Structure 1
Amino acid sequence: MVSVSFEGRHHCGGFLLHVRWVVSAAHCFNDRDPSTGLVVLGAHALLRPEPTQQVFSIAAVVQHPSYQPATQANDICLLKLNGSAVLGPAVQLLGLPRRGAWPPLAGRRCRVSGWGFVSDFEEPPPGLMEAEVRVLDLSVCNSSWQGRLSPAMFCTRSGDRRRRGFCSADSGGPLVCGSRAHGLVSFSGLWCGDPKTPDVYTQVSVFVAWIWDVVWRNSSPGCYGVLCE
């Protein structure tokens, strides 16, 4: 898990794909200067110093070329760190699903994590939080959202009467099904965990080819511009 902060405050989540690359949500960087952001790895409680933490600045942000802020379609980006993460017990890579794989089946249990608020009243969490949620049938979710969802999105619900799900500042964090990041937190309704407006994620498998193309093209000797080593 990755925390992206601006002006000393947690802003969005993400996950470490490669020692120099993080996957996050494109909307996290709308009207933000990436050069002022920090990426924190290996954290649990962000507000206190922890020996496991590694902090990097952002060398580059690569938003998906078809990202549409108005609809949140293709809401995914890659962050290049200004150095290489040191892998260990507190910092690990998270794998991607198979290229072009279908989204997880309706009813599957998955886990979403982040440092976002734990209530509708901007109550900060004591540390990194995790919730178990269930994948929702896409047609049911799209009906709840009046047909707003694009094909590269899918949804989750609590699966019971408790309003489990993500909240403000969880954007960009991974939805882990099994051991892979199948979703990225994208958007939800006005109230956190409201079953009337199910949580919506970017479907990562649609973007696997693009992700690796960006990583390898911009980590090779022939790279160019700000993305070069």
Structure 2
Amino acid sequence: METMSLLLLCFIVGVKSVPIDFGNQRIMGGIQASSGEFPYVVSVTYNDQHHCGGFIYNLQWVITAASCAYGKYPSELKVTVGQLSLNNVDPGEEIIFVFSIRTHHAYDPVTKSNDIAMLELATPITIGPNVNWVMYDEIDESVPYGTFVGWGATQNEGLPSLKLRKANLAISTNCPTYYPSNDFNYNTMICAGDANIGPCAYDEGSPLVQKISNQDVVVGIMSKNQGCGPNFPPSVFTRLSVFYSWIQNQAGVQPTRPTTTATVPTTITAPTAPCFNCETAPPVQQPGILYQ
């Protein structure tokens, strides 16, 4: 009887301690996205498992982080568009094979500088109510936050979230406090998030979005952080506008505005705000299996 009482006491103490620890590690403030709310967000799978996020640039190309594709073969990656749930088939959901990978020529896998890649799809994306492309631009730092969207883990070292989630992230200036100078470059990176909310594992490549003229505009893609949850520093995002020339050189023109048909205008819209340290793209590479 005494042994049973002691075991019961240990069980009760153990149960009480688990929620406190788990709660402290959760990303706070994120909520589930609704169907069609972010039709441009994609899941990049590696060997058929969710690996990273990304967004639709045009009918043939997806932008993600170079760290999501570096060292991998196109045959190992697929892109799922129109997805809300990782374990259910959603309206408009389509799985598309990757034809080629274009990582930025100056990507550094150690510091993750120039952390951007483009995935050329084997077949065009079918545009619909839950699937569409999105424009990108320079971040408006007069707006104190951006919206982050992804399937990342909801706790440090956790599994991907089964549902697409969104959260408002504070635009921060604190990254130089936590990252060495070779790990954070203001000209090519954005600092966002705080101790209460931020991206987690499997969120790499997912977009940071702002409303510009009442339209979603992607301003950054998740690159790296030092962990997620309370007491972790802000996350680092690739500043997209810097890579305008490189993106255009790889994937060609982008439509002037989202369309509900498969017809893509041939005009291109450049980022309207000035970008920092904008680069001149090298000569375009010829289509092939792998560019790294």
TM (normalized to structure 2)? 0.68
Partner of 2:197: 164
Partner amino acid for 1:143?
Answer: T
Matched, 1:146 2:183: no
Structure 1 counterpart SS, 2:43: strand
Within 5 A, what are the aligned runs for 1:92-131?
92-97=132-137, 101=138, 103-105=139-141, 108-131=144-167
Contact 1:107 1:136 in 2 (8 A): no
Structure 1 counterpart SS, 2:175: helix
The structure with the larger Rg is: 2
Structure 2 counterpart SS, 1:136: coil
Count of matched residue positions in the alignment of Structure 1 and Structure 2: 214
Pairwise CA distance, 1:123: 3.9
Partner of 1:201: 237
Pairwise CA distance, 1:152: 0.3
Partner of 1:33: 73
Structure 1: runs of 5+ lacking an equivalent:
none
Matched, 1:58 2:98: yes
Partner of 1:226: 288
Contact 1:106 1:136 in 2 (8 A): no
Pairwise CA distance, 1:177: 1.2
Contact 2:189 2:239 in 1 (8 A): yes
Pairwise CA distance, 1:194: 4.6
Q: Sequence identity of aligned pairs in percent?
A: 28
Partner amino acid for 1:205?
Answer: S
Distance across 1 between alignment mates of 2:218 and 2:176? 22
Distance across 1 between alignment mates of 2:149 and 2:52? 11
TM (normalized to structure 1)? 0.86
Pairwise CA distance, 1:209: 1.5
Distance across 1 between alignment mates of 2:175 and 2:143? 13
Structure 1 counterpart SS, 2:146: strand
Partner of 2:250: 214
Matched, 1:183 2:215: no
Partner of 1:82: 122
Distance across 1 between alignment mates of 2:89 and 2:197? 29
Q: 1:121 to 1:73 in 2, by over 3 A?
A: closer
